[in-house]
A = this chain, B = another copy of it.
Amino acid sequence: MISVQEALNYIAQSPLNRRIQQVDLLDSIGKILAEDVIADRDFPPFNRVAMDGIAVAYQHTGQTWIIENVQYAGSPQITLSDPAHSIEVMTGAILPEGCDTVIRYEDLEILPAEGNKLARLLLPLEEIKKGQHVHPKGIDRKEGSIVLAKGLRISPAEIAILATVGKTQVWVEMPPQVAIISTGDELVEIDETPLAYQIRQSNSYMLASALQQKGIASQRFHLTDDPEILHQHLANILENYEVVLLSGGVSAGKKDYVPAILTALGVQKCFHKVAQKPGKPFWFGVKTNETGEVTRQVFALPGNPVSTFLCFLQYAQAAITRQAVRYEDVYLAQKVHFKPALTYFAPAKTYFDEGKQMAVPFEGSGSADFANLTSCDGFVILPAEQQEFPAGTLVKFIRFR
């Protein structure tokens, strides 16, 4: 049995080889960028008017200006003919040639004047700063510089930048092909009526929906606890899927064939059993190619629903999405007593109390009590070395909603 940290290390040391692929801009959201993205122009690409108003030449500035012309956004640059005049300018327009400063409409009165219009400043002149309300060419990024570096995760902010530099297609790391397999002879399909000693499948739907929320497709399978069937189907699935999430079949039971069959199929065990509750029987292994690269990852998760979900959140999710889990800091709102020398992941609900994030643990009836989870938004992580966790103890938290 290894520690939670050792389990995380093993998995981190066995990353799956990723395929990279070019996808349409909008399909890149949430994925890892697989190329450096270069600014094809300065950001902004011209001295850009940042407020609606007038543009003036600062050193010739008085208290009133004749308005010569209008510079619209999307129109070619015009030129100020008389440095004592001004040009009306619209947000997003290129700053007219000969101007360096913008004064907002809010600070002006626009008056008719001899066929022209006149702008009169409503503020003392000292309040106008040279260069104000101009977003200078290249101030944010220079043409040729890297605006987005390979390896970052694409959020809507990165989508805006990719659009700006004209990336209709983006090189990204593709998520792996994922198979989700539930095992257990007590499980029936969700459209069936279970007999007294049966229950409906739920883990594979839970895992598929969790992946779907991350934008990752998966294929679900159910296999019965028969060694030959397991062997044959697992062999097939391992041919076609890069990540296999199994639930059930990894404990000490007489029909817990999964670890032996995986080994027989050439999946090398990295570890079996982690010093944690729930999820102790968790098994993890990989297949590698001739050059030692990992081509398959197998997460054989314990079958109790809370165990399955927690092990997915804590171990499989980050490996599949390549997004490190964001552990939050929380303070226990109630004391917890937990005797075994295991890391205890207790379902909990969080709230903010004057800057402190508090977590109320819901112990319920253990790893099979998944109805409990609807009142929770994650798990507090209580270290194995301690047995008593007084209210107010600072611990880590893993969020699922």
Q: Interface of A with B (CB < 8 Å)?
A: 25-26, 29-30, 41, 43-46, 48, 50, 52-53, 70, 72-77, 88, 90-94, 104-106, 135, 139-141, 147-148, 152-168, 184-187, 190-203, 205-210, 212-213, 215, 225, 248, 251-256, 303-305, 309, 328-331, 352, 354-357, 364-374, 376, 394, 400-401
Question: Which of A185, A186, A195 lies at the interface centre, i.e. has the most chain B CB atoms within 10 A of its CB?
Answer: A186
Question: In the complex, A197 Cα to B95 Cα: how many Å?
Answer: 9
Question: In the complex, A26 Cα to B204 Cα: how many Å?
Answer: 10
Beta-carbon nearest neighbor of A193 in chain B: B166
11 pairs across A/B with beta carbons < 8 Å?
A: A29-B212, A73-B185, A139-B365, A139-B369, A155-B401, A157-B376, A159-B205, A160-B205, A162-B205, A164-B202, A357-B357
Beta-carbon nearest neighbor of A156 in chain B: B210
Given the contacts A155-B400, A355-B331, A185 and B254 also touching, CB distance less than 8 Å = no
What 4 additional pairs, Cβ within 8 angstroms, besides A29-B212, A76-B197? A77-B197, A92-B186, A329-B354, A355-B356
Q: CB-CB < 8 A to A41: which residues of B?
A: 194
Question: In the complex, A58 Cα to B331 Cα: how many Å?
Answer: 40
Q: Which listed residue, B48, B201, B328, B374, touches A158 by the CB 8 Å rule?
A: B374
CB of B212 within 8 A of CB of A213, answer no
